[in-house]
Amino acid sequence: MAFRVAILANFDLDEQGGREMLSRITTLLRCSRTGATEITIHSAIRGDAFPDPSEYDLVILTGGPFNLLKHNEEHERPEWVRRTLGWIQETAKIHEAGGLSEPGSKKKAKLLGICWGHQAIALALGGRLGQVLQERGGQLIGIQTVPLTSQGAAFFETESLNIQKNHALVVTHPGPYLTPVASGSSSSQNEVLLSHSPPILTFQGHPEMDAALARLFAGFATGGASNRADWVPSEGLKGIDDVHDGEAILKRVVAWADE
């Protein structure tokens, strides 16, 4: 039976970098396991229907440019954002009711959140967001070494993860469902969040990004040229061309979703 993945693309597919990002994600997914992998793309921004979680092994909520703090009142948020947050809540409720995780159920429908997806899942499930501190430039770009808790180290079979970063918002409180599995200062503990019920894994960083994509989106974030080779990473982070664990992280995610 094929491994089925739905990608919720939280960006305009036709904007620069959109297709490249999807291509990178799908390539990593197909390289992360043997056997058939079926991938469908869904874009709430353009009005697509959301995937039925019972039809998939993994649903990925990607990064995206919309600032979830820009409009704090729900009625001020764009419809696609409201629909996405509502879909996350409904999917969690189905899991709570036992409909997707019981033995013999059709699919596990595990959720993976990346950057914007990480923030949206936390927000939808009772968490809180904040802004990257201005003394850190208001935007974090580069590769960060994220130390893991004992639970995180057991899950990933490593003590830390090197991951591409490009974000201006952070999760300040994960809410009642998600457990931080990163360690360190209070500002870094919510870098990686995990829940076993409902089954959710989220990253503030971008395990799907390679150096070329990181450089492209660094240009968007700072208003600079996307082909610059001399990006200066944020304080405490390594350069975007440094070694990172993106491929290993996605391989672990796929193994988790296939369990």
Per the prediction, the chain carries an average pLDDT of 89
Domain that holds residue 239: 3-257
Q: Which of 95, 118, 167, 206 is catalytic?
A: 206
Give the tens place of pLDDT for each residue, 213-241: 988 888 655 555 445 445 567 878 998 99
Section 133-153 average pLDDT:
86
CB 173 within 8 A of CB 166: no
Q: Is 31 a catalytic residue?
A: no
Please work out, in degrees rounded to the nearest 5, the angle formed at the alpha carbon of residue 64 by the alpha carbons of 20 and 123. 150
Q: Which of 118, 191, 208, 244 is catalytic?
A: 208
Give the tens place of pLDDT for each residue, 92-120: 998 877 755 555 555 568 999 999 999 99
Q: Is 115 a catalytic residue?
A: yes
Given this model, what pLDDT does residue 225 score? 45
Cα–Cα distance between 138 and 145 in angstroms, integer? Answer: 19
Find all residues with CB under 8 Å of 118, minimum gap 6, and list them: 61, 171, 193, 202, 203, 204
Q: Which of 95, 115, 118, 167 is catalytic?
A: 115
What CATH number is associated with residue 167?
3.40.50.880
Amino acid at 3: F
Q: Could you give the number of structural domains in the chain?
A: 1
Cα–Cα distance between 181 and 89 in angstroms, integer? Answer: 22
* CA distances for 155 relative to 13, 158, 159, angstroms: 33, 8, 10
Residue 163 has pLDDT above 90, yes or no: yes
Section 197-212 average pLDDT:
95
Residue 89 has pLDDT above 60, yes or no: yes
Given this model, what pLDDT does residue 220 score? 59
Confidence of residue 137 (pLDDT cuts 50, 70, 90): low
- Proportion of the chain above pLDDT 70, given as a percent: 86
Give the tens place of pLDDT for each residue, 47-77: 999 999 999 999 999 999 899 998 666 668 8
Given this model, what pLDDT does residue 217 score? 83
Given this model, what pLDDT does residue 184 score? 79
Given this model, what pLDDT does residue 102 score? 54
Given this model, what pLDDT does residue 104 score? 53
Q: How many residues does the chain have?
A: 259
Given this model, what pLDDT does residue 232 score? 65
Amino acid at 237: L
Given this model, what pLDDT does residue 255 score? 96
